[in-house]
Amino acid sequence: MEKHYADVVRSGDVHRLGEYALTQESIIAFAEQWDPQWFHVDPDAADNGPFGGLIASGIQTLAIYQKLAVEAVFDKFHVLCGKEVTDVRFWQPVRPGSVITGTMTTTTVRPEAGRGRALVAYDVELTDKDAGVVLTAVMTVYIKLPEDHLGS
């Protein structure tokens, strides 16, 4: 598949993300390695906790976003690197059985022709088919400009 450059990115572009289904096993396995808090790794204790059951780590939710973003958007462009993720907000717990999807809406495209790149910002929204919005954030990445835009 031919990859695109930043010159085709437009503010207002909406990208639909694929889906990712979580299981109790995937939540526990992730949390045991990266966020071993009891409400992520111990279903019995979590049942009696403030969330009424096991929940995924917010870090896992961000990792799911990144996977879906790469598959739906970033793999289609000459992405140079991520710059930052800001305004991250976790709206609802993500639970076993959750099916996560979402959108990325391009909000800003700022060419840096002398550097051969554009800074592109996206508003991110992840949703669970049953619970609604689970995460919002702003993600910025650098995407390469085509050679004929260099020095412009």
With contact defined as beta carbons under 8 Å apart, do 106 and 13 qualify? yes
Question: pTM above the 0.85 mark?
Answer: yes
Identify the structural domains of the chain with CATH numbers, from first to last.
6-149 (3.10.129.10)
Over residues 139-152, the pLDDT tens digits come to: 999 999 998 655 54
Over residues 89-112, the pLDDT tens digits come to: 999 999 999 999 999 999 999 999
